[in-house]
Amino acid sequence: MKHILLLGTGGTIACKHGDNGLTPLLTGEELLSYVPAARKFCQVESVQVLNIDSTNVHPKHWLMISKAIEENYDDYDGFVVAHGTDTMAYTAAALSYLIQHSKKPIVITGAQKPIDLDVTDARTNLLDSLRFASSDRAHGVNIVFDGKVIAGTRGKKERSKSYSAFSSINFPYLAVIQDETILFYIDDKWQDRESVRFYHKLNSNVALLKLIPSMDPSVFEYLAEHNDAVIIESFGVGGLPSYDNADFYSSIEKYVAQGKIVVMTTQVTQEGSNMSVYEVGQKAKNAFGLIESYDMTLEATVAKLMWILGQTSEADAVEELFYKTIGHDILWKAASR
């Protein structure tokens, strides 16, 4: 019987109603009391890392969760992180970079409704996660939610209320869980022969600029001045606007000349970017050598940049690491290199 560690961090799954709305109050041990069926296939212990609304999750909390897993890694067969849904995709992506080549499963789950309600998705999600964490074929960082198993770098919350809140973006589901059975679509555990590696540094000086028509480039200049990297969420397959009285090109030119990092991504959820298609994209990319996220999620782009900048600030090294496929995070550029 597998030995699993549940890490409590708060979120809706652990909430109770208070005077000002839902507040995380339940511990991991209390969460386990709602899924007694888990005792049939695993032994579970719990540790409380945090107990906060995931809106308040910060990169320092990702490091705390990773540290808790590292400290217990040799003593357990798998790990389940009970987490709020609002920033779950960011946490899953961050853990995918902080904990690489894990042969043991690290599962992030949560719920749209608290576990103590009569009608809730929490008990099913938690039980499914413990079941997946107990599978011999499971490995690496994954989200388990609504019967779907999603690579940690590919998850995105696309629905704010429905139980089917999360989707896998530009990548297949790794598995589905139905009727107490795990059906694997991608089974690649033994292809990765490297040993697990934990990282301990993140650089959170990363900003995101979402373009809207007529935006003044001075917004970019402010972000660039106060951060080591800026992600620009552009339109469609990607490009930089140039208006009669405003030019992003000169602003980016100054920023890149300082050795800082600009990454281009798209506001469109599915199918990714390709700046080579239109002049507005190709011109900027060729002129400044901008990094492009291609088929990556925004959450993975943010977390990967923070992880990379925690290792190096040298522009060429940043680009090389960004285009290295980690946990299924980027396929398009990696395949063309």
Question: Rounded to an integer, what distance in angstroms lies between the CA atom of residue 310 and that of residue 202?
Answer: 4
Beta bridge partners of 108: 81, 143
Within the chain, which residue ranges are assigned CATH 3.40.50.40?
Answer: 206-336
| Residue-wise pLDDT tens digits, 263-306 | 999 999 988 898 888 777 887 888 788 899 999 999 999 999 99
What is the pLDDT of the chain when averaged over all its residues?
93
Question: Rounded to an integer, what distance in angstroms lies between the CA atom of residue 175 and that of residue 148?
Answer: 6
Look up residue 259 and give its amino acid: G
Tokens at 272, concatenated: 């990714």
Question: Rounded to an integer, what distance in angstroms lies between the CA atom of residue 127 and that of residue 179?
Answer: 12
pLDDT computed for residue 335 by the predictor: 47
What pTM was estimated for this model as a whole?
0.95
Task: Give the closest residue to 136 by CA, choosing from 104, 111, 163, 108.
Answer: 104
Q: Determine the 3-state secondary structure of 288 from DSSP.
A: helix
CATH for 2-198, options being 3.40.50.1170, 1.10.10.10, 1.20.1440.230, 3.40.50.2000:
3.40.50.1170
| Residue-wise pLDDT tens digits, 4-31 | 999 999 999 999 987 788 889 899 999 9
Taken as a whole, the chain contains a residue count of 337
Question: Rounded to an integer, what distance in angstroms lies between the CA atom of residue 274 and that of residue 284?
Answer: 12
**6-41 residues labelled b (16+ CB within 10 A) or e (exposed):** bbbbbbbbbbeeeeeeeebebbbeebbebbeebeee
Active site residue 265: no
CB atoms within 10 A of CB 211: 17
**Cα four-point dihedral sign 267, 273, 275, 279:** negative
Q: Is the CB of residue 333 less than 8 Å from the CB of residue 294?
A: yes
Q: What is the dihedral of CA 126, 129, 130, 136, to 10 degrees?
A: 170
Q: Which of 129-133, 219-223, 277-281 has the lowest mean pLDDT?
A: 277-281
Query: According to the CATH classification, is domain 206-336 in 3.40.50.10280?
Result: no
Given the residues 12, 120, 265, 266, the one annotated as active site = 12
CA angle 195, 200, 201 (to 5 degrees): 130
Tokens at 335, concatenated: 């395949």
Within the chain, which residue ranges are assigned CATH 3.40.50.1170?
Answer: 2-198
Q: Is 90 exceeded by the pLDDT of residue 217?
A: no
